[in-house]
Structure 1
């Protein structure tokens, strides 16, 4: 692991080299302070342009780049609104399609109303809307999913400017958990609905979603979803408040050259069909999964380990999109960006929810939030079991977990044990390789 996730400073995004040109193009129209927060938000929008494409995950399951959800979190007036301009640029073709589709729906509605009760009614057009309004109701969302499924399983996209508006899409806050999980897992809606025309279908929910919110509303919205799997399925991108510079950040002017180049990338997403295996990406995800286990062992943090599972899947989907954007070839720079996406997601979640994940204290102050700490880093190079027990006690962890933690450190060759002295010693692997290059978790 190259990145720190325990500090208030965000993990620095790697240089965007070969294979990430589309991301650089999009960032050219955003102010510099929003570059890192925006990058994770691009992939649900780009993923919505792909339909009929599957990739093999390292566990041998086939997944589509759909069900991608990302939540941008920043304080009010901190330039979140720039994202909507970029979304509109990426989804210009969606808007053109939906405008034509809306005209067809209006014409159908007029014909239906103009005919008497005894005359045959025209069938409702079933093409569906690709970029649904942010105030779409749950019945309309499901009806649109049915129409899109009938036409090959197109993914619908929604950009929600305030997180509370997701309640309307999900059918109320009590339904948020089930709806978001169904979207992420690409499962069926789970319920039939009665209408004037009869019983509706039960479509597979193919959707991508971006959300913007401030820290307070984000914590309030997700506070009951932290431990049921819903929270982990959403990628978070947090922007701390910057310094008081007294300067209005500039954003792009969107020249014609920008749109021409962007359209070249979007065509690659639209025409990509079939099944693919990206072996370099899968190898990377396998390695990152091992890193996540090591991080969990060093911090003795099961919640962090569980969150990392879906952070890996979300970053892997982003990697699939990068591969298609780069004419189906893989580069080291793409791998570096995928790795950063994993850590940025985990860092963002800990910045926003660390105290809630630890204590379920929904009213904790900003200063009470801390990320996971590398416990081995906090111990001297040579230590005994009693020292680790004292450290665990100071961190509100049980003494009973000490032996299990020592076993894990020994298994991963982070430490060695001397039976004659009862002393544990940090290994050269940890001090020179793991700590300095792989497990860089400083305090």
Structure 2
């Protein structure tokens, strides 16, 4: 495992080498302090440009780069607003499409008004918006999903500068959980209703979402959805508070040269159609699944294990997008980014919600921001069962789980046992490679 997510500092992003040129291009327009927080946010926006392509996950299911959701979290005034500038740059073609669609409505409205009361009114045109406004209501969101489905199943993309805006799209905060899960899992809306005009539709929800929030707003928003699957489906990118250096961050200039390069990458996303199996990406996903199981066993943390499963799927989808952007070829640098995305998401979740996941207080201090604790690291190289039991009690875990944890560590070859001494010892494999 290359990253330690128990620390207060974020896992350092790997160098953006061969195959990640599009990400480097986008980051060139943002201040340096926002590079790492913004990278996980880019993939839902870019993924919305892919329509008609599916990729096989290691479990043999086929997935689209839709249902991708990410939440940027940072203190007020930490430069989160730079993300919206990137979104507008990436979605220029979406804006042009939507303006043409809205002109259809304007023209239809004029025709309706010009007809006398006894004349037949023209039918309302079917309008499909690719980049709906952030204050889109639930009925409008469902209606738009129906129109997009009728036009071949395009993904709609929404960017919400405040996390509370999602309430309106979902029909209220009580509906957040069901709606976000349906979006992530590409389920139908469940909105079949009888009306005066007939029966409304029940479209498959193809949408990608990005949201922004302060730590307080994020904790308040997700507090009641930490254990029902909603929380795990959302990718979090947390920017921790930094020192007061008194410098105003510099953003880039969106020049014609920048847009020309960006449009070349976006064209690769737009033309990608069909079914694909990215074997090196799937091999990496299998390896990361093993790493996540090991990490959860070292910390004896079921919540971490549950969150890691969907963190891996989200990072895998990001890998699919990188593959398309790189002319459908794979590189080691792309794999490094995918691996980092998994740990960045889990680190962010634990930094923001560790105390709530432990069902503690409603407020968060620096001392409460704790990631999963690798208990084996806190034990001497040789130790007995009583020492692990005492450590578990100190960390608020049960004594009864001690034997089970030792069995898992033995199975994963983290430790060996000597019947002569009654001691457990860390293996050479663990000491030299388990913490990499």
Q: TM-score with structure 1 length normalisation?
A: 0.97
Name 1:440's counterpart in structure 2: none
Quote the offset at 1:277 in angstroms: 0.2
Tell me, what secondary structure is at the counterpart of 2:347? Answer: helix
Cα distance in 2 for residues equivalent to 1:386 and 1:118: 89
Name 2:36's counterpart in structure 1: 36
Matched, 1:344 2:344: yes
Segments of structure 2 that go 5 or more residues without pairing to the other structure are none
Contact map agreement 2:98 2:130 (CA 8 A) in 1: yes
Cα distance in 1 for residues equivalent to 2:118 and 2:167: 40
Q: Give a deviation string over 1:99-150, Cα, whole Å, max 9, x none.
A: 0100101222332344355543323222400000000000000000000000
Quote the offset at 1:360 in angstroms: 4.2
Name 1:430's counterpart in structure 2: 430
Contact map agreement 2:191 2:200 (CA 8 A) in 1: no
Contact map agreement 2:29 2:251 (CA 8 A) in 1: yes
Name 2:211's counterpart in structure 1: 211
Name 1:441's counterpart in structure 2: none
Contact map agreement 1:127 1:151 (CA 8 A) in 2: no
Q: Give a deviation string over 1:289-343, Cα, whole Å, max 9, x none.
A: 0000000000000000000000000000000000000000000000000000000
Q: Give a deviation string over 1:357-407, Cα, whole Å, max 9, x none.
A: 012422243322211110011111111111111111111111111111000
Tell me, what secondary structure is at the counterpart of 1:376? Answer: helix
Cα distance in 2 for residues equivalent to 1:221 and 1:391: 33
Contact map agreement 1:19 1:331 (CA 8 A) in 2: yes
Matched, 1:327 2:324: no
Quote the offset at 1:34 in angstroms: 0.2
Tell me, what secondary structure is at the counterpart of 2:224? Answer: coil
Tell me, what secondary structure is at the counterpart of 1:42? Answer: helix
Name 2:397's counterpart in structure 1: 397
Contact map agreement 2:105 2:127 (CA 8 A) in 1: no
Cα distance in 2 for residues equivalent to 1:223 and 1:286: 31
Quote the offset at 1:194 in angstroms: 4.3
Segments of structure 1 that go 5 or more residues without pairing to the other structure are 438-443
> How do 1:78-227 and structure 2 match up within 5 A?
78-116=78-116, 118-227=118-227
Contact map agreement 2:76 2:214 (CA 8 A) in 1: yes
Contact map agreement 2:298 2:375 (CA 8 A) in 1: yes
Name 1:15's counterpart in structure 2: 15
Tell me, what secondary structure is at the counterpart of 2:348? Answer: helix
RMSD: 1.1
Cα distance in 2 for residues equivalent to 1:78 and 1:318: 25
Bigger drift between 100-109 and 247-256 goes to: 100-109
Tell me, what secondary structure is at the counterpart of 1:12? Answer: coil
Contact map agreement 1:126 1:150 (CA 8 A) in 2: no
Cα distance in 2 for residues equivalent to 1:291 and 1:82: 33
Name 1:373's counterpart in structure 2: 373
Quote the offset at 1:434 in angstroms: 1.4
Quote the offset at 1:433 in angstroms: 1.8
Matched, 1:289 2:274: no
Cα distance in 1 for residues equivalent to 2:183 and 2:354: 25
Contact map agreement 1:126 1:148 (CA 8 A) in 2: no
Q: TM-score with structure 2 length normalisation?
A: 0.98
Cα distance in 1 for residues equivalent to 2:112 and 2:145: 22
